[in-house]
């Protein structure tokens, strides 16, 4: 049996790009600091030559990852879609490997909202959905929209949950 469904249409907040860019920049700066410390220790203590080559390889990979982290937030934002109705939660995401997920409402066990410091600064939340066998997230939704979606999913899935 093949199920015909229209793809999800709702988008994340445009501020998701800023949050993902800032988050990626923080991660890269920390990584470069650690790498710089390792290069200094290699120079200072004259570690074996192969350690220096490994550090150079890691540095090259880190620079490539940094370049990717500049472009990936925009690409992720353009690829992310979600939707919820009485039967399914639909999720579509992925830049290189596109994923389409249909989560039956009858399988959803819990739904929660989470908000870290960066998301809080921009008034965004992440909606986390748990099923018996997996978990799913819808990142970077405006807080009011996230609360509304959480309540809608809980109603469709018949879940009683207190506000986080």
pLDDT, one tens digit per residue, over 87-117 is 999 999 988 899 999 999 999 999 999 999 9
Composition of the chain by helix, strand, coil, percent to 5:
50, 25, 25
pLDDT of the residue at 4: 56
How far apart, in whole angstroms, are the C-alpha atoms of residue 57 and residue 51? 10
pLDDT at 147 over 50: yes
Q: Which two tokens stand for residue 114?
A: 């989470």
pLDDT of the residue at 25: 96
Q: Which fold has domain 81-157?
A: PH-domain like (2.30.29)
Banded model confidence at residue 164, pLDDT cuts 50, 70, 90 = very low
How far apart, in whole angstroms, are the C-alpha atoms of residue 5 and residue 91? 12
Which residues 6+ apart lie within 8 Å of 55 measured at CB?
A: 35, 38, 39, 42
pTM listed for this prediction: 0.86
**66-94: per-residue pLDDT in tens?**
999 999 999 999 999 999 999 999 999 98
């Amino acid at each position: 049996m093949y199920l015909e469904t229209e793809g999800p249409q709702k988008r994340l907040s445009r501020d998701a790009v800023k949050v993902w860019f800032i988050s990626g920049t923080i991660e890269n700066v920390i990584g470069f600091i650690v790498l710089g410390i390792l290069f200094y220790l290699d120079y200072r203590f004259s570690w074996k030559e192969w350690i220096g080559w490994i550090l150079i390889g890691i540095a090259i990979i880190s620079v490539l990852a940094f370049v990717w982290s500049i472009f990936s937030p925009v690409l992720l934002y353009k690829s992310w879609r979600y939707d919820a109705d009485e039967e399914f939660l639909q999720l579509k995401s992925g830049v290189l490997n596109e994923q389409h997920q249909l989560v039956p409402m009858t399988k959803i066990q819990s739904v929660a909202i989470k908000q870290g410091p960066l998301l809080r600064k921009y008034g965004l939340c992440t909606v986390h959905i748990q099923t018996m066998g997996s978990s799913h997230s819808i990142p970077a939704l405006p807080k009011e929209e996230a609360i509304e979606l959480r309540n809608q999913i809980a109603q469709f899935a018949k879940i009683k949950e207190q506000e986080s």
